[in-house]
Structure 1
Amino acid sequence: MRRMEGLSAEVLADRAGASVEHVERLARLGILTPHPDGSFRPSDIQRVKLVDALERSGIATEDIGRAITSGHLSLAFLDLLFTEPKGYSSKTYRDLCAEYGWSMEFVERMHEALGLPTPLPEDRVREDDLQMFPVGQFVRSTGVPDAGVIRALRVYGENLGRITRSESQFFHTYVEEPMLTSGAAENVMLEITAQISPMMRAQVEGMIDWLYHRHQEHAIIEHVVGHVEEALEQAGVTPRRQGPPPAMVFLDLTGYTRLTEERGDDAAAELAASLASLVQRESQRRGGRPVKWLGDGVMFHFPDPGQAVDCSLDLVEKAPASGMPPAHVGVNAGPVIFRDGDYFGRTVNVASRIAGRAGPGEVLVSEETVSAISGRSVRFEGIGPVELKGLAKPLELFRALRG
């Protein structure tokens, strides 16, 4: 196999954001192993960055070198993990701000929203981070205000960050830990898993691309349908359908905190996973969608209040059968504000308060919810005006039961 073109010490230092002296020192310590001609591997960019990160965490570079020399540690796995390592460009953030006419404050806010470290004006921009500027410039040129750009980036940053953190934990739990438990040394485990990781990453990246486009297609069609209905109504072709208001649902598990204290964190994680599986399955079956996970519960959105109540009754019945504590649910129907993937407004707040009032295995709903439902095999028992925390006036609440 043809060896990749080597990097001189000067080029390696430049792309890794280090000095030539630092690169030469790492070579003397055995952390970097130059080719016979004195050149270095592209993956040495990541070795320099990794050693610097370890040093910042309090591990002396000399100790890393001794561990490598003694055979207790090897960084050879980085050759497989990072086949195309990204270095630093020659441009600083100050340079690009001047080039694009951006303020450094806007760049800082972009990084914060994306969940990336906040740069300084004199910091050199990573080669792969350069694409942030033309993309940002295009979006701004369409007239989107900076606040809108930041909100959108925060949605991407938070969700992609959660995905990558979950991937790392998944890989550690199901690939690395079993090897270590079976007696493999850390350096052996790293060498073996470094061969598996790139293949898994390639599969996951393909899956993310596919799933993103599936969800995108659904969202676009759903959005376009609304505009087409509006256009037809304005043209006098057909009146727009007036459906019921949407419903917000809050579900909590009774005694979750006590249960996790008794059984430990692993049991809490298993319980959360069981709840997520049940909630995802039942809500999709009824046309709803989980919006936000709340540790011991979840918030849903349903376009149809009737389906919201049906799903809530399904969940309180099936939770104990799935090995979970009893669930209690609050449902409220009314207008909501959708922004950045979340729902806001009084309808949401009241639904949360109603859930807090519900007892184990109970589904409580508002008067607005009852009024929006017709022709369902569900009956409602009034429990009278109820005072709820944070609300100025008592609310008429009803207990939902199977008809």
Structure 2
Amino acid sequence: MADDEPDIPARTSGSQSEPEPAGEQPAEGGAPREQPGEPGQPEPAQTPGATGSPAAPAASGQTGTPGATGPVGADLPPVPEEDEDDPSALRIEQLILGSKRQYTPFQAARAAGVSMELASRFWRAMGFADVGQARALTEADVLALRRLAGLVEAGLLSETTAVQVARSTGQTTSRLADWQIDSFLMGLTEPPEPGMTRNEVTYPLVQLLLPELEEFLVYVWRRQLAAATGRVVQAMDDEDTVARRQAIAFADLVGFTRLTRRLEDDELGELVEAFETTAADLVAANGGRLIKALGDEVLYVAEDAGTAAEIGLRLIETMANDPTMPELRVGIAFGTMTTRMGDVFGNTVNLASRLTSIAPKDRVLVDGDCRAELVGAGAAPESEKETEDLSGYRYALQPLYQRPVRGLGVVEPWMLSRR
């Protein structure tokens, strides 16, 4: 369950500050200086704002750009000069990044005007692997470092917050990139005829898709940022955000471990994807927010108990109508929680997780605070007396036996159903 999950560290990366290799001379403006005997090549543009100069290539006979084929932390071997018609993986990388590899991490830090220590922290936070002192970084990497450092220098972000921005962006986009590759790019880049390589198919496809996907990503991000900003501003106007109470819910597939032993990998993957897609659509359509999907479980939040209850019931009803899906169980708690880097933590989250684990198949369990919210909003009656007219209520609440819940004391769950 989510409350027991340890924090998952970002992939470590970056490198420690090392002296420049012997024989290298700084080049003006943060880019390697043109080598003697290479007429006709333009001098790299100066890098504004740099406080140091990176080293030039140690050997004038060195050509090309190092390739990312060595072990982590090792210098990467040089590769031949790319031909314009060579659909290599390195050329695809250059197409995506928009510029060639030309900086070591040390040079990139100096070109960006930041310390090697800060550059390494940013690099690790974004989730990238250690490249030692290989020339594996591009002008885009320098610009990104300069932008983050500039926000810190301007006082808009603290250094800690800037690292958190790098980490949250890196973790989110890493998952997005993996999903895009696995879900459709692998299929689209399958060679259509014998003799063709995947690289030959991928390069023109990326050329077509990259600008469209980039614009769509920025659009969705702006939409999500606007929605999140609106929620925070409204909460600040209404009440203290620290004490703001929300509904938190888990929806868990029953018997998933048995399914993993019975189904083939492809079948299991299709089932998980169908579950996550259905859950995400239902949560969004009914006014909730999907926090994360964990294979056999989804975690969502809602501003009020009624929204969370409706989502939970609709999830169970929708899954019950699909014969390929196992049963579902849902646990909902209402209270305060801590939000950090898009995730939620706290006793309310833990309670929702525990309620899910004890819920019967195809049932929704809520805690006492969630019940009180539903009653207060007029969605459920205070009691289920037969003498009362209950026709005006949306939900029925049946009390279950109190039981001890590990780490949370004694809890009285309530079973939620439609009236």
If the length of structure 2 is used for normalisation, what is the TM-score? 0.71
Instruction: Give CA deviations for 1:362-395 in whole Å, capped at 9, x if unaligned.
Output: 211111110111322111111111122333x220
Greater displacement, 110-119 / 340-349: 110-119
Q: Distance in 2 between matches of 1:398 and 1:253?
A: 20
Asked if 1:112 is matched to 2:124, the reply is yes
| Alpha-carbon distance between aligned partners in 1 of 2:134 and 2:71, rounded to the nearest angstrom | 20
Q: Tell me: CA distance 1:143–1:327, structure 2 relative to 1, closer, same or farther (3 Å).
A: same
Question: Do the aligned partners of 2:244 and 2:336 also contact (CA within 8 Å) in 1?
Answer: no
Look up the match of 2:213: 204
Are the structure 2 counterparts of residues 352 and 227 from structure 1 closer, same or farther at C-alpha, using a change threshold of 3 Å? closer
Match of 2:330 in 1: 329
CA–CA separation in structure 2 for the residues paired with 1:122 and 1:275: 43
Residue number in structure 2 paired with 1:269: 269
What letter corresponds to residue 283 of structure 1 in structure 2? V
For residue 346 of structure 2, what is the aligned residue in structure 1?
Answer: 345
Cα distance, 1:339–1:255 mapped onto 2, change above 3 Å: same
Give the direction of change, closer, same or farther, for the CA distance of 1:225–1:132 in structure 2 (3 Å limit). same
1:284 shift after superposition: 1.9
Q: Partner residue of 1:299?
A: 299
Q: Could you tell me how far 1:345 is from its partner in structure 2? A: 0.9
Aligned-partner Cα distance in 2 for 1:290–1:120: 38
Partner of 2:387: none
Q: Distance in 2 between matches of 1:94 and 1:209?
A: 27
Deviations 1:223-275 (A, max 9, x none): 33344556xxxxxxxxx9xx993111011101112112211221121112111
- For residues 316 and 56 of structure 2, the distance between their equivalents in structure 1, rounded to whole angstroms, comes to 55
> AA paired with 1:193?
T
| Superimposed CA distance per residue, residues 338-360 of structure 1 (whole angstroms, 9 cap, x where no aligned partner) | 12111111100111111111121
Question: How far off is 1:285 after superposition?
Answer: 2.6
Give 1:318 shift.
1.3
Deviation of the 1:325 alpha carbon: 0.6
Counterpart position of 2:418: 402
- Give the secondary structure class of the aligned counterpart of 2:325: coil
* 2:309 counterpart residue number: 309
- 1:136 and 2:151 aligned: no
Match of 1:358 in 2: 359
- Mean CA deviation greater in 306-315 or 123-132: 123-132
Structure 1 letter corresponding to 2:417:
L
Q: Distance in 1 between matches of 2:257 and 2:395?
A: 31
Does the 8 Å contact 1:93/1:124 carry over to 2? no
Q: 1:380 aligns with which of 389, 397, 404?
A: 397
Amino acid at match of 1:196: L
In 2: Cα distance, 1:257 partner to 1:21 partner: 59
Q: Which residue of 1 aligns with 2:101?
A: 87
Q: CA deviation at 1:120?
A: 5.5
Separation in 2, partners of 1:197, 1:144:
34
Aligned to 2:230: 221
State the match for 2:162 in structure 1. 149
Residue 280 of structure 2 aligns to a residue whose secondary structure is: helix
Alpha carbons 1:244, 1:304 under 8 Å: kept? no
Whichever residue aligns with residue 292 of structure 1, its letter is K
How far apart, in 2, do the equivalents of 1:192 and 1:122 lie? 29
1:168 counterpart (174, 178, 181): 181
Identity %: 23
Size of the alignment, in residue pairs? 344
**For 1:88, what is the secondary structure of its paired residue?**
coil
1:357, 1:388 within 8 Å by CA — same for their partners in 2? no
Structure 1 contact 93–121 (Cα < 8 Å) conserved: no
Q: Residues 381 and 169 of structure 1: is their aligned pair in 2 closer, same or farther, counting only changes over 3 Å?
A: same
Q: Which residue number in structure 2 is paired with residue 126 of structure 1?
A: 138
**SS at 1:387's partner residue?**
strand
Alpha-carbon offset, residue 53 of structure 1: 2.8
Report the Cα offset of residue 172 of structure 1. 4.2
Deviation per residue, 1:54-75 (Å, 9 max, x gap): 4659xxx99x99xxxxxxx964
| Pair 1:15–1:87, CA change in 2 (3 A) | farther
Kept in 1, the 8 Å contact 2:283–2:311? The answer is: yes
Q: How well do the aligned residues superpose, as a CA RMSD in angstroms?
A: 3.7
**CA apart distance, 1:121:** 8.0
Gaps of 5+ in 2: 1-33, 43-53, 380-393
CA distance in 2, matches of 1:262, 1:164: 30
CA contact (8 A) 1:253 1:328 kept: yes
Whole-Å separation in 1 of the counterparts to 2:234 and 2:272:
35
Q: Greater RCO between the two (CA within 8 Å, min separation 6)? A: 2
Structure 1 residue 185 displacement after superposition: 2.9
Shift of 1:76: 5.9
Matching residue of 1:42: none
Deviates most, 286-295 or 218-227: 218-227
Alpha-carbon distance in 2 for matches of 1:94, 1:54: 23
Shift of the 298–194 alpha-carbon distance from structure 1 to 2, 3 Å rule, reads: same
Which amino acid in 1 is paired with 2:260? Answer: T
Aligned partners of 2:290 and 2:211: how far apart in 1?
28
Structure 1 unaligned residues grouped into runs of 5+? 1-6, 24-44, 66-72, 231-239
* Aligned residue identity for 2:314: D
* Secondary structure, counterpart of 2:146 in structure 1: helix
Match of 1:283 in 2: 283
Q: Aligned match of 1:390 in 393, 402, 407?
A: 407
Question: Is the CA contact 1:332–1:366 (under 8 Å) kept in the aligned structure 2?
Answer: yes
Equivalent-residue separation in structure 2 for 1:292 and 1:88 (angstroms) = 38
- State the distance in 2 between where 1:78 and 1:311 align: 46
